[in-house]
Amino acid sequence: MRWSPGGRSRNVEDRRGRAARVGVPIGLGGILLIAALSFVTGENFFALLPQDNGQIMVGSGPADGPSTSSPEEERMVEFVSFVLDDAQGRWHELLPGRYQDARLVLFRDVVESACGFAQSASGPFYCPGDRRVYLDLSFFDELHDRFAAPGDFAQAYVIAHEIGHHVQNLVGIESQVRQLQRGDPTRANSLSVLMELQADCFAGIWGYSTAARDILERGDVEEALNAAGAIGDDRIQRMSSGQVQPETFTHGASEQRVEWFRRGLSSGSLDSCDTFGQR
Instruction: Quick: pLDDT tens for 88-103.
Output: 999 999 999 999 999 9
Instruction: Please report the pLDDT score of residue 6 as a whole number.
Output: 82
Using the predicted structure, report yes or no on whether residue 180 has a pLDDT greater than 60: yes
In this predicted structure, the answer to whether residue 49 has a pLDDT above a threshold of 70 is no
Residues 54 and 125 in one domain: no
pLDDT of 40 > 70? The answer is: no
Which has the higher per-residue pLDDT, 58 or 2?
2
Q: Are residues 201 and 99 in the same domain?
A: yes
At 100-124, the pLDDT tens digits run 999 999 999 999 999 999 999 889 9
**Residue 70 pLDDT level (bands cut at 50, 70, 90):** confident
Residues 42, 89 share a domain: no
| Sign of the four-CA dihedral 270, 271, 277, 279 | negative
Does residue 54 carry a pLDDT above 50? no
In a domain, 1, yes or no: no
Residues 46 and 170 in one domain: no
What per-residue confidence (pLDDT) applies to 26? 45
pLDDT tops 90 at residue 160: yes
Does 228 fall in a domain? Answer: yes
Is 181 a domain residue? yes
Of residues 74 and 59, the one with the higher pLDDT is 74
92 belongs to a structural domain: yes
Residue 155 lies in a domain: yes
Q: Would you give the distance in Å from CA 176 to the centre of its chain?
A: 21
| 170 and 259 co-located in one domain | yes
pLDDT of 202 higher than 70: yes
Alpha helix (H) residue ranges in 71-115: 71-94
Q: Is the pLDDT of residue 184 over 80?
A: yes
What is the arithmetic mean of pLDDT over 189-215?
Answer: 96
User: Distance of CA 132 to CAs 59, 127, 168, Å?
Assistant: 25, 6, 13
Verify that 31 and 122 share a domain, yes or no: no
* CA gap 62, 20 in Å, rounded: 8
Residue 147 per-residue DSSP state: S
Q: Distances from the Cα of 97 to the Cαs of 10, 91, 167, 180, in angstroms?
A: 20, 10, 13, 28
Say if 107 falls within a structural domain.
yes
So what's the pLDDT on residue 55? 45
Please give the residue that has the higher pLDDT: either 66 or 208. Answer: 208
**48 and 123, same structural domain?**
no
In this structure, are 38 and 113 located in the same domain?
Answer: no
CB 16 within 8 A of CB 54: no
Q: Name the region of 14 (left: φ>0; alpha: ψ -120 to 50; beta: rest).
A: beta
Query: What pLDDT score was predicted for residue 39?
Result: 53
In a domain, 279, yes or no: no
Q: What is the mean pLDDT of the chain?
A: 87
Is the predicted pLDDT of residue 17 greater than 90, yes or no?
Answer: no
Query: Residue 7: its pLDDT value, please?
Result: 86
Mark whether 35 and 148 lie in a shared domain: no
The total number of residues written for the chain in this structure: 279
Looking at the fold, whether 119 and 249 belong to one and the same domain comes out as yes
Q: Distance between CA 171 and CA 267 in Å, rounded?
A: 20
Residue range(s) defining the domain that contains residue 234: 71-273
From 8, 14, 252, select the one nearest 132 (Cα to Cα).
14
Same structural domain, 183 and 220? yes
3 state DSSP class of 61: coil
State whether 33 and 84 are in the same domain: no
Q: How large is the average pLDDT for residues 231-238?
A: 96
Sheet holding 12-14, edge to edge: 12-14, 103-106, 132-135, 125-127
7/165: higher pLDDT: 165
Domain count within the chain: 2
- Decide if 165 is inside a domain: yes
Q: Which of 29-43, 72-86, 234-248, 261-275 shows the lowest mean pLDDT across its residues?
A: 29-43
